Amino acid sequence: MAFTPVIPTTGLAGWNFLQQTLPRQEEIFSQSPEVSRELEYFNENIGNVKTLDDFMGDRRLLSVALGAFGLGDEIDKGAFVRKVLEEGVTESTAFARRLGNADYLAFAERFDFTNGDLKLFQTNIDDIMADYERQSFEVEVGNVDETMRLALNFERKIADYVGQGSTESGGWFQLMASVPMRTVLESAFNLPSSFANLDIDKQREIFSDKMNAKYGDKSIESFSDPEVVADLIQNYLLREEIDAGPTALTTGATALSLLSSASSGFGSSSLLNIILSNG
């Protein structure tokens, strides 16, 4: 992508800057030629898809579709993706359900070919394109600072896990099945690298106890409170910054160099002015 997100420092300072400038940075990113072209193509051509073969045969459509669900790296796994879509989600034994991957499950639910053809309303298409923009932006954020990408992902997706009527254990197991989500949790709760080697039930118990000690509730339902989510992300970023120690992105060290290379076609000062402007 031509536009590189501007994150002048690591840790909480970098996160606060990103949060303050996020709408403007996302707007600039969505207007970049690469993103605009792919979204325009998707909007104009997804309606022509009638069969799974049509869909799998158009790499550009498939790329946007997968990217919208955080599965952009799966674009070359054609047989795997086809199997997910062929079996759908209706049956409890469907491949998408057996994977234990919430992103693939959501992807298969949206692109449902089990009745022979694909039916998408314009509102569905608009939602897919908006998700592609956000996911693609987060990928670019990760190319600058992976901890920021994981924090954005946690902030955006945690709502998908709460309020689903799951048992306390079931909610934790669903959350633990997502590597990006549990990475944030493990770091925020200061759990050792050996934690993943424990019995899965023991892991769930420890997560529950940590949650209860910090927020007064053993279930993941506390994450319905934005303040709890913000606090956990803050703890995550602090832990990551402490563990990393001084780096090239330590506060103030490389703000100028990052800004100067933030985007081809923009000077450092003009880019920062654009991001900090009201539009």
Q: What pLDDT does residue 101 have?
A: 86
29 pLDDT band (50/70/90 cuts)? very high
Give yes or no for residue 279 having a pLDDT over 60.
no
Q: What pLDDT is recorded for position 272?
A: 59
What is the rounded CA–CA span in Å between residue 127 and residue 130?
A: 5
Look at residue 173 and tell me whether its pLDDT is greater than 80.
yes
Q: In this model, does residue 167 exceed pLDDT 80?
A: no
User: By CB neighbour count within 10 A (0-12 exposed, 13-18 middle, 19+ buried), where does 65 fall?
Assistant: buried
Residue ranges of alpha helices (H) inside the chain are 11-30, 33-45, 52-56, 59-68, 78-87, 95-98, 102-110, 122-144, 146-157, 168-176, 179-188, 200-215, 226-244, 255-260, 268-276
Mean residue pLDDT across the chain: 87
What would the pLDDT profile of 111-145 be if each residue is shown by its tens digit? 999 888 898 999 999 999 999 999 999 999 999 99
Q: 220: phi > 0 → left, psi -120 to 50 → alpha, else beta; which? A: alpha
- Work out the average pLDDT over 244-270: 50
Other CB atoms within 10 A of residue 171 CB: 22
Span of 13-17, 90-94, 115-119 with lowest mean pLDDT: 115-119
For the cut 60, the answer to whether the pLDDT of residue 99 exceeds it is: yes
Q: Who wins on pLDDT, 55 or 168?
A: 55
Q: How confident is the model at residue 20 (pLDDT cuts 50, 70, 90)?
A: very high
Residue 78 has pLDDT above 80, yes or no: yes
pLDDT above 80 for 90: yes
pLDDT (0 to 100) of residue 35: 94
**Phi, psi angles (nearest 5°) of residue 120:** -130, 130
pLDDT of residue 3: 83
Q: How many residues does the chain have?
A: 279
Overall average pLDDT of the 86-104 stretch = 91
Report how far apart, in Å, the C-alpha atoms of 143 and of each of 87, 147, 214, 220, 277 are: 34, 10, 32, 30, 24
Between CA 268 and CA 114 the distance in angstroms is 50
Angle between helical axes of 33-45 and 59-68 (0-180°, round to 10): 110
- Nearest Cα to Cα of residue 29 among 156, 135, 132, 137: 137
SS3 at position 83: helix
Q: Would you call 5 exposed, middle or buried from its count of C-beta atoms within 10 A (0-12, 13-18, 19+)?
A: buried
- Rounded to whole angstroms, how far apart are CA atoms 244 and 240? 6
**String of b and e for 246-271 (b: at least 16 CB within 10 Å)?**
eeebeeeebbeebbeebbeebebeeb
pLDDT > 60? residue 254: no
pLDDT band for position 265 (cuts 50, 70, 90): very low
Q: Is a pLDDT exceeding 70 seen at residue 215?
A: yes
* Dihedral sign, Cα of residue 183, residue 189, residue 190, residue 195: negative
* pTM tops 0.85, yes or no: no
